[in-house]
Amino acid sequence: MSDLEAVRKKRIQQMQSDQKKKVELKAVGHMKYEELTDEKEFFAAAKKSDLMVCHFYRDATWRCKIVDKHLQALAPKCWKTRFVKINAEKCPFLVERLQVFMLPTITCVIKGEVVDHVVGFDDMGGEDDFPTEVLAARLARVKVVEYEGGDVGSQMNAPGKGKGFVGHRREKGDSDSDSDSD
């Protein structure tokens, strides 16, 4: 067998293995962005998935809708990671335990352990119209998603483009996010 045939055979085996893993992970909620209703669901999801991104949100916090759009775009592309959201107002025990004090907060969980929090938009340049790729790169830094650059969600790449996404520049005096304690 030539070197090229060996490389090809190894790559085919890797693709088959990835496809099998994809099917298994999809069965436990990967490749979509869904809401969890309570703390019990959060801990169960964290046990079933080695990698999980959880968005703590509140309906009244409009910046949370921006995060929703980005995570919706990432979920099918970053299939090894489970993407979920949880209403902070309905889960005060979890909010306190994980020290979520500002919304939106994205919690990064690896093998059941919280490894990082992305609070507000400061890590994405402090603007409301940041590209999805910037969030993907931020999450990849803590190894909760696999992302090596490139286009993640074309509808999110430019302010005001795509499916109803409207960018908003922060004005002087605008808070980066809403405090959970108000």
Q: Is residue 174 classed as helix, strand or coil in its secondary structure?
A: coil
Number of domains in the chain: 1
pLDDT digits (tens, 9 = 90+) for 106-144: 999 999 999 999 999 999 999 999 999 999 999 999 999
Q: Is residue 36 classed as helix, strand or coil in its secondary structure?
A: strand
Mean pLDDT of the chain: 83
104 in a structural domain: yes
6 in a structural domain: no
Rounded-to-integer distance, Cα 88 and Cα 91, Å = 5
**Which range marks the domain in which residue 63 is found?**
31-179
Residue 148 has pLDDT above 90, yes or no: no
pLDDT digits (tens, 9 = 90+) for 28-42: 889 999 999 999 999
144 in a structural domain: yes
pLDDT score of 154: 42
Contact criterion met (CB below 8 Å) for 115 and 144: yes
Strand order in the sheet with 105-110: 33-36, 82-87, 51-57, 105-110, 113-119
CATH of the domain at 168: 3.40.30.10
174 in a structural domain: yes
163 in a structural domain: yes
Residue 161 has pLDDT above 80, yes or no: no
